[in-house]
Amino acid sequence: MEEHDKRFWRNMTFAQLRNRRVRVSAYGGDMILEFRLTPGIGHTLGARQYTVNGFDIGELFHEGHDGFMELTRQKAPVSIKLLPDEPEYKIIEDITGVQPGDVFVQTNGNKYPVQEITDDGHCLVLIDSNTYRIDDAAFDHALRPAPARIPDRPGLWEDKSGGLYTVWKNGQELWIIQIRESDGRWVNGPALLIGKTGENVNDSTTKDLSSKAPFRFHDGEL
């Protein structure tokens, strides 16, 4: 069994590794799969489906006696890499680009939500329910919440918890419907209009889907 050099799973608990994305290489790199780790029986993690693109993967990790994850023996040698999650924030390094709604990060690491930008360009931040003007010299960077990724093309999409959706076009309109819950139960959810191709997402759909974002395109088998 070939293991990734860093053996990241030995420093992660079931809760920390659950729903994280991994890249699994097998057969000397001839087969490379990317998928989100989902719970199996007990404290085990692996691919939701037992076969992914023809490769029999199933359970990938199980919880060890010390509470950290162990690599489960596979039928073929594998190499595993932990992939980063979708970024939640955009970093703003120029103070003149800060906007209300950003998070002001001071040089000492303190973080405050930006409430307003004054006419002369200074940041007013919220501290203990009160608004204060903060010194520009204390600015290190700001964080701006990244827009929630909503499905933008036909196909299968997964939400952040592993729920599965199908997206299709009807003329110029893009529609979405949930077909499977995160626990694997098949459902027939309501059809929601995302919007017209090339236009902004429908406001009501954004409200319904934003709590489940970010979505990722599902390129594996059902």
Residue 45 domain-assigned? yes
Residues of the chain with pLDDT under 50: 1-5
The answer to whether residues 50 and 111 belong to one domain is no
The answer to whether residues 128 and 173 belong to one domain is no
Residue 97 domain-assigned? yes
Residue 222 domain-assigned? no
Residue 150 domain-assigned? no
The answer to whether residues 124 and 160 belong to one domain is no
Q: Which domain holds residue 37?
A: 8-82
| Cβ atoms 203, 193 nearer than 8 A | no
Answer with the one of 35, 56, 82 that is the final residue of a domain: 82
At 81 the pLDDT is: 86
- Total domain count for the chain? 3
The answer to whether residues 94 and 31 belong to one domain is no
| Cβ atoms 44, 63 nearer than 8 A | yes
The answer to whether residues 43 and 74 belong to one domain is yes
- Measure the CA–CA gap between 181 and 14, rounded to whole angstroms: 20
The answer to whether residues 181 and 198 belong to one domain is yes
Residue 2 domain-assigned? no
At 31 the pLDDT is: 66
Which are the contacts of 121, defined by CB distance < 8 A and separation ≥ 6? 96
Residue 47 domain-assigned? yes
- Measure the CA–CA gap between 209 and 125, rounded to whole angstroms: 29
The answer to whether residues 62 and 107 belong to one domain is no
- Measure the CA–CA gap between 92 and 141, rounded to whole angstroms: 6
Residue 123 domain-assigned? yes
At 146 the pLDDT is: 73
CATH of the domain at 110: 2.30.30
Answer with the one of 32, 61, 82 that is the final residue of a domain: 82
Strand ranges for the chain from DSSP E = 21-26, 31-36, 38-39, 44-46, 51-52, 55-56, 59-63, 69-71, 78-82, 89-92, 103-106, 111-117, 123-127, 130-133, 139-145, 155-158, 164-170, 173-180, 192-196, 216-217
| Cβ atoms 69, 61 nearer than 8 A | yes
Which residue matches tokens 């489960």?
Answer: 72
Answer with the one of 28, 53, 82 that is the final residue of a domain: 82
Cis, peptide link before residue 190, omega less than 30° from 0? no
At 5 the pLDDT is: 43
| Cβ atoms 125, 104 nearer than 8 A | yes
- Measure the CA–CA gap between 32 and 23, rounded to whole angstroms: 7
| Cβ atoms 179, 165 nearer than 8 A | yes
- Measure the CA–CA gap between 104 and 112, rounded to whole angstroms: 5
Residue 1 domain-assigned? no
Which are the contacts of 117, defined by CB distance < 8 A and separation ≥ 6? 98, 99, 100, 123, 124
The answer to whether residues 141 and 159 belong to one domain is no
Pairing between β-strand 44-46 and β-strand 139-145 as defined by DSSP bridges: unpaired
